[in-house]
Amino acid sequence: MKYDYLIVGSGLFGSVIARELTQAGKSVKVIEKRSHIGGNVYCEDIEGINVHKYGAHIFHTNDVEVWEYVNKFVEFNRYTNSPVALSKGQMYNLPFNMNTFNKLWGVVTPDQALAKIDEQRSELRGKKPTNLEEQAISLVGRDIFETLIKEYTEKQWGRNCRDLPAFIIKRLPVRFTYDNNYFNDKFQGIPVGGYNPLIEALLEGIEYETEVDYFDEKNKWDSLARKVIYTGAVDRYFNYVHGKLDYRSLNFEHDILDSTNFQGNAVVNYIDKEYAFTRIIEHKHFEFGVQEKTVITKEYPKEFEEGDEYYYPVNDTVNNRIYSKYKKMAEQESKVLFGGRLAEYKYFDMHQVVRSALNTANKELGK
């Protein structure tokens, strides 16, 4: 055996576990089917701007150990995500906070906002929310659901809000202060110079190859390593024996504009369904850039089709049931570990992927 571990995928999961295993003296090889390392956090330098090629990535966490871990490899800036949302010609602050409530209802105090929401959530008559629509109404009432959630969510997921799991909307904070910070976490920022320096530092001194699809020569790769760590789509690994899992994919449309400042914010959400895209990202604002040009990206959600990249697992009841069968199969594979957003089929953010990779490495190393 040439290597102790073959790691399939150079995203955050693959890169963190590669670093941890190497650090412990194991021999590791990483293969990656894309033409670059980094998975979805990869950035490309365009006009001196770090363009988040696979969508806006803001690192945020409450996990001190994870924060300290990533800070060992790169410095983070003080960027705080405060998206705004355009709905029927009006701009609203996100997440749902006193600025949003004031703009929508003219209320000024937290008590007034709460009274408004209480009045609107009474339509549920105390019923425990069982889907995204009911969860949204229970959190912020029908007006906000109709103005800022329904159309965006149905574009993003291609499904009716009543057919989507409640947890998706619970990702967003609801707060009764005038605070537009999109996250509640203690730590937040963007690596200075974008995400590539983080991935490069994690993989420093580790053998890797890009433009290699594991499945093209699976037997060869398996024979080279004692164990495989797989971070691709779990249903693909098992040849879809229990059927295909649903994923949402995205098309990204990048444009270079002859403007210093296109939209005045890194993230502007477009709620109305008349726009086929969900948001426009203006990348320079992640790093307070003052370049002469600007690069923007429109994000068009779509159902995954053969040849697309996998981006979002659809964790509804039907898919979770199918996933639980794959999970059982994965647990029985003694030579293969499964990790990351695609292999664990979980709507993980970056910090959760780092945590999961560290835990997997520790378990593997008997720590």
Length of the chain, please?
A: 367
Binding of residue 156 to ligand UDP (CB under 6 A): yes
Tokens of 167: 């947890």
Burial of 26 (0-12, 13-18, 19+ CB in 10 A): middle
171 catalytically annotated: yes
For residue 241, CA distances in Å to 235, 244, 289, 326 come to: 8, 8, 48, 9
Catalytic residue among 34, 248, 341, 355: 248
Burial of 360 (0-12, 13-18, 19+ CB in 10 A): buried
Binding of residue 152 to ligand UDP (CB under 6 A): yes
40 contact choice in ligand UDP, ligand FAD, none (CB below 5 to 8 Å, kind-dependent):
ligand FAD
342 contact choice in ligand FAD, ligand UDP, none (CB below 5 to 8 Å, kind-dependent):
ligand FAD
CB closer to ligand UDP out of 22 and 153 = 153
Q: Which of residues 250-309 bind ligand UDP (CB under 6 A)?
A: 269, 271
326: phi then psi, degrees, rounded to nearest 5: -65, -35
Q: Could you tell me the smallest distance in angstroms from the CB atom of residue 117 to ligand UDP?
A: 16
Q: Could you tell me the smallest distance in angstroms from the CB atom of residue 329 to ligand FAD?
A: 17
CB closer to ligand UDP out of 29 and 52 = 52
Taking CB under 6 A as the criterion, the residue among 88, 162, 171, 186 binding ligand UDP is 171
45 catalytically annotated: no
Please state, in angstroms and rounded to a whole number, the distance separating the CA atoms of residues 333 and 270: 44
CB closer to ligand UDP out of 57 and 227 = 57
Taking CB under 6 A as the criterion, the residue among 37, 86, 94, 322 binding ligand UDP is 94
User: Is-contact 39 12, C-beta < 8 A?
Assistant: yes
Dihedral angle sign, alpha carbons of residues 219, 220, 224, 229: negative
Which spans of this chain sit near ligand FAD (rule: CB under 6 A)? 8-14, 31-34, 39-41, 54-59, 213-215, 231-232, 250, 311, 340-342, 348-351, 353
Find, among 246, 234, 239, the residue nearest to 317 by Cα: 246
299 catalytically annotated: yes
User: Is-contact 206 28, C-beta < 8 A?
Assistant: yes
Binding of residue 148 to ligand UDP (CB under 6 A): yes
Catalytic residue among 19, 34, 121, 279: 279
Q: Could you tell me the smallest distance in angstroms from the CB atom of residue 128 to ligand UDP?
A: 20
9 contact choice in ligand FAD, ligand UDP, none (CB below 5 to 8 Å, kind-dependent):
ligand FAD
3-state helix, strand, coil in the chain (%, to 5): 40, 20, 40
Neighbouring-strand partners of residue 92: 85
248 catalytically annotated: yes
As a dihedral over the C-alpha atoms of residue 359, residue 194, residue 278, residue 148, rounded to 10 degrees, the angle is 70
Q: Which stretch binds ligand UDP (CB under 6 A): 31-39, 147-155, 205-213, 232-240?
A: 147-155
331 catalytically annotated: no
Residue ranges that bind ligand UDP, judged by CB under 6 A = 85, 94, 148-149, 152-153, 156, 168-169, 171-172, 269, 271
